[in-house]
Structure 1
Amino acid sequence: MGMRSRMEAIISSIVLVHPHEISALIHSASCFFFILSAYFVILPLRDEGAISLGLNNLPGLFVGSLLLTLVAAPLSTLIFSLPNLSKARALVLIHRFFSVSLLVFFILWHASSSSQLRSVSKVSDPHSPSSENGKENISSDSPSNSAGWGNHGWFYIVVRISLFLWVALLNLVTISSTWARIIDVMDSESGSRLFGFIGAGATLGQLFGSLFAASMAWLGSFLLLFSALLMELAAQSSKGISHDAHHDPVELSTTGREDIQDQHTDSKEEMSALVESSPKSPAHSVKPQLFVVLEGLWLIISSTYLLYLSLFLWLSAVVSSFFYFQKVTIIATTVTSPLARRRSFALINSFIAVFILAGQLTLTCRILMNLDKLAYYSHYVVTGE
């Protein structure tokens, strides 16, 4: 109990949090920490496997990941909308499903690597001078073999492609599902205070996963096992993302209480007006899960703010994809060892995480505070209230 009190005191000194929110805040931040750690632990292994298939095939892999996410994202939304499955349980199942899938990929990766070594050893002449170099000529990741997948077996190619697509899917589904659960637990007022702390947990996860992958790059495919363990820890952490059953509304501090209540009153009035103005058909009330995706798409189309936000995310993805191709091309042409490639990818991800964390601690908070002040003054000038 003493340790819990000290932890609550430390968190309260960092972020403005009420006692009934601490449990959900800790579990949310830790869940994102484990998700991002698991993702960045296996990201160098995925990228190194993609290089072994040839740089010319990277655009095709990106298109494949896009098509896969277009199919899988609505499915994950459908799972969350099932009436006979709680969202808390659905989130645990999603994280655990990806944890088990990484164990399967560990087995497939080893099996494909062994079959690749056997096929290359059969083709190579045991009496030729080149075969005396052992692993260097057998390695399927040498620069000569990185030009394409013609020198690889079909099993090797399928496993590398599948892992590339699956890791992208893992990143999208787990993060979006966790945010959906957090939004259900926290209201807009608590989210404005606590989302920054939760995001810092995700950045720390990126930093930890990248540093671990850089220092343990020699583990190779065994990084998949550690990533699977992290995903299971994320599943366990997600169980704590819930409302506090012992929440007492009197816990809120008197400072700003009236403003918060006014905000909630306005929000309830707006929500009730929206509910009353939108008729529900009997089919929609019986099978709401079939229309969740289309309903979300309609909300985006009907909102100028969401359209601009979607455009921003699209442009961000385009820019990040461009720099990703440049990064992979430079490493593929300058680094020949698979171990050195994995370490290089992980170190780059570590530096990126450090810059993101520094920005979150120094700039993001101030920018958001200034934006809040600007929004308040704009509202005052327009409405006079």
Structure 2
Amino acid sequence: MASSGRRFLIKTIAVDSSSSGEGAALAWSWLYIFALFLAYYILRPIREELGVAGGVRNLPWLFSGTLVAMVVANPLFAWVVRRWPREKFIEITYRFFMVNLLIFMLLLALASPQDRVWTGRAFFIWVSVFNLFVISVFWSFVVDVFNAAQARRLFGFLATGATTGGIVGSAMTSGLVDIVGQGGLLFISLILLELAVYSARRLSVISDAFHIPAEREEAHRPVGGGLLSGISNTFSSPYLLGIAGFILFYSLTSTILYFNQASIAEQQFPDRASRTAFFANINLLVNGLTLIVQIFLTGRIIAWTGLALTLCALPLMSVAGFSMLSIYPGIVVFVIFQAIRNVSNYALTRPAREILFTAVTREDRFKTKNFIDTVVYRAGDQLAAWSCAGLLAAGLSMSGIAMVAVPLSVAWLALSFWLGSAQQRWERYR
């Protein structure tokens, strides 16, 4: 059985059998991201339900609160990164979020109906911060562990851990929400974060096996640098600024699609349980399709087409999808577009965009990447949320707003090709 699993890793996933520790490092990385996404996909439908419960008109304020929280949290995270080595600051970060989950369990259990609305808004903001931070930290860690060649071979399969976690989390939420309630689901997520901490610790130890002594010594030192170096480095490098632009375009278009989702859910599903199940079922559909692509196609597509064309897949899908949504608005077109876009994102774009960070310094992998993944991402949310609110107030329909996303997606497509080409040049001439 063990030999069969090893052959699968070598043939399907392209694990290097001659590299000491690579298979074990991949396995612990997979468990690490599986635990994170399982926790997040348990929390995500709860966040969506609580966000919609306050009314779609309040979503721009929730996105504003999220951006403020990100701006406050980012220098605090930079301080932790500067002071402690990676395995320690990962433990501190995740256990901080575990304490937060305990607090929300108590608040949701004890809150009156009116207080529950405000608790729900706080929870919406918290989950929006939580998911970007914990996932950004994970990818920073594995980019620090694996080199560019390993990333091309392994990151596609590694992303299956995220997808599998999403599938299991969506199914658990849909099946257990009426049995254990939202508080019980929060407790399950807390346990999963502890599993992520343990996996990160094991990965840190095992990764030493395929690094030279100088790399091992550097890996166990604090990253150092200034509290605001992530911000300054972003704006001083055209390459990093390009990555920030890529994330900004993704965030803008995602938020426009999110407003369509919230509007459809509010119109089609009158009660909280049905809305939670609807969101969970969409997640289940997306993750099932994504898993198939990730296992058998992602690594091969990146190898066959190159990084530049792989990065272009999501913007191209967005051009087509928003065009269709502007002409044929409604739940059927939305679900099809959401499924195709998210499959393209999780199976191709996310692994590919993380490869971009193999071409930057260690400080940029942790600080600049975290700034881009969190503050820049949520700034895009903020810009799109208030733009959507303003356009709706001016009388534009959701289909009209979808049309606005088409030229944004075209610009995103051009930037994606430039970024992928720049990383490929770096790898060729380094």
TM-score past 0.5 threshold: yes
- Alignment correspondent of 1:99: 98
Structure 1 Cα separation of the partners of residues 253 and 289 of structure 2: 18
Query: Among 230, 237, 249, which residue is 2:199 paired with?
Result: 237
Structure 1 Cα separation of the partners of residues 195 and 211 of structure 2: 31
Q: Render the CA deviation track for 1:139-185: whole Å, top value 9, x for unaligned.
A: xxxxxxxxxxxxx2xx3233112111111111011111122222222
Q: Does the 8 Å CA contact 1:80/1:86 hold for their aligned counterparts?
A: yes
Q: Does the 8 Å CA contact 2:39/2:190 hold for their aligned counterparts?
A: yes
- Alignment correspondent of 2:44: 43
Count the aligned residue pairs. Answer: 300
Structure 1 Cα separation of the partners of residues 238 and 304 of structure 2: 23
Amino acid at match of 2:248: W
Structure 2 Cα separation of the partners of residues 315 and 369 of structure 1: 25
Q: Which moved more, 1:180-189 or 1:227-236?
A: 180-189
- Alignment correspondent of 1:328: 262
Structure 2 Cα separation of the partners of residues 31 and 373 of structure 1: 25
- Alignment correspondent of 2:190: 228
Instruction: State yes or no: 1:319 paired with 2:253.
Output: yes
Superposition pairs of residues 170-249 of structure 1, within 5 angstroms: 170-218=130-178, 219-221=180-182, 222-244=184-206, 247=209
Structure 2 Cα separation of the partners of residues 50 and 206 of structure 1: 20
- Alignment correspondent of 1:62: 63
CA deviation after TM superposition for structure 1 residue 248, in Å = 6.8
- Alignment correspondent of 1:348: 282
Structure 1 Cα separation of the partners of residues 51 and 211 of structure 2: 53
- Alignment correspondent of 1:15: 13
Q: Does the 8 Å CA contact 2:38/2:169 hold for their aligned counterparts?
A: yes
RMSD: 2.9
Structure 1 Cα separation of the partners of residues 307 and 162 of structure 2: 27
Superposition pairs of residues 1-385 of structure 1, within 5 angstroms: 7-17=5-15, 18-82=19-83, 85-112=84-111, 115-116=112-113, 152=114, 155-218=115-178, 219-221=180-182, 222-244=184-206, 247=209, 289=224, 291-294=226-229, 296-361=230-295, 363-372=297-306
Q: Does the 8 Å CA contact 2:105/2:186 hold for their aligned counterparts?
A: yes
Amino acid at match of 1:291: G
Structure 2 Cα separation of the partners of residues 373 and 66 of structure 1: 30
Structure 2 Cα separation of the partners of residues 195 and 363 of structure 1: 12
Structure 1 Cα separation of the partners of residues 211 and 60 of structure 2: 53
Q: Does the 8 Å CA contact 2:52/2:262 hold for their aligned counterparts?
A: yes
With over 3 angstroms needed to count, the CA separation of the structure-2 counterparts of 1:163 and 1:297, relative to structure 1, is same
1:16 aligned counterpart, secondary structure: coil
With over 3 angstroms needed to count, the CA separation of the structure-2 counterparts of 1:364 and 1:213, relative to structure 1, is same
Uncovered stretches (5+) of structure 1, i.e. residues with no partner? 117-151, 251-286
Q: Which moved more, 1:212-221 or 1:23-32?
A: 212-221
Structure 2 Cα separation of the partners of residues 244 and 288 of structure 1: 20
With over 3 angstroms needed to count, the CA separation of the structure-2 counterparts of 1:86 and 1:8, relative to structure 1, is farther
CA deviation after TM superposition for structure 1 residue 32, in Å = 0.8
- Alignment correspondent of 1:144: none
CA deviation after TM superposition for structure 1 residue 7, in Å = 4.6
Q: Render the CA deviation track for 1:48-98: whole Å, top value 9, x for unaligned.
A: 11222222111110121122112212322321221xx22112212222221
Q: Does the 8 Å CA contact 1:78/1:290 hold for their aligned counterparts?
A: no
With over 3 angstroms needed to count, the CA separation of the structure-2 counterparts of 1:290 and 1:162, relative to structure 1, is farther
Amino acid at match of 2:141: R
Structure 2-normalised TM-score? 0.63
Q: Does the 8 Å CA contact 2:20/2:210 hold for their aligned counterparts?
A: no
Structure 1 Cα separation of the partners of residues 64 and 97 of structure 2: 21
1:291 aligned counterpart, secondary structure: coil
Structure 1-normalised TM-score? 0.70
With over 3 angstroms needed to count, the CA separation of the structure-2 counterparts of 1:249 and 1:104, relative to structure 1, is closer
With over 3 angstroms needed to count, the CA separation of the structure-2 counterparts of 1:338 and 1:10, relative to structure 1, is same
With over 3 angstroms needed to count, the CA separation of the structure-2 counterparts of 1:246 and 1:72, relative to structure 1, is closer
Q: Does the 8 Å CA contact 1:99/1:231 hold for their aligned counterparts?
A: yes
2:209 aligned counterpart, secondary structure: coil
Question: Which structure exhibits the higher relative contact order, with contacts defined as CA atoms closer than 8 Å and separated by 6 or more residues?
Answer: 1
Amino acid at match of 1:220: G
Uncovered stretches (5+) of structure 2, i.e. residues with no partner? 213-221, 309-420
CA deviation after TM superposition for structure 1 residue 38, in Å = 0.6
Structure 2 Cα separation of the partners of residues 339 and 38 of structure 1: 19
Q: Render the CA deviation track for 1:212-263: whole Å, top value 9, x for unaligned.
A: 112223133121111112112111211112253773789xxxxxxxxxxxxx
Q: Does the 8 Å CA contact 1:181/1:241 hold for their aligned counterparts?
A: no
Amino acid at match of 1:207: I
Work out the percentage of aligned pairs sharing the same amino acid: 29
CA deviation after TM superposition for structure 1 residue 8, in Å = 4.1
CA deviation after TM superposition for structure 1 residue 209, in Å = 1.0
With over 3 angstroms needed to count, the CA separation of the structure-2 counterparts of 1:197 and 1:167, relative to structure 1, is same
Amino acid at match of 1:166: W
CA deviation after TM superposition for structure 1 residue 40, in Å = 0.9
Structure richer in helix, relative to its length: 2
Q: Does the 8 Å CA contact 1:33/1:203 hold for their aligned counterparts?
A: yes
Structure 2 Cα separation of the partners of residues 306 and 34 of structure 1: 29
Q: Does the 8 Å CA contact 1:76/1:173 hold for their aligned counterparts?
A: no
Structure 1 Cα separation of the partners of residues 92 and 105 of structure 2: 20
Amino acid at match of 2:250: S
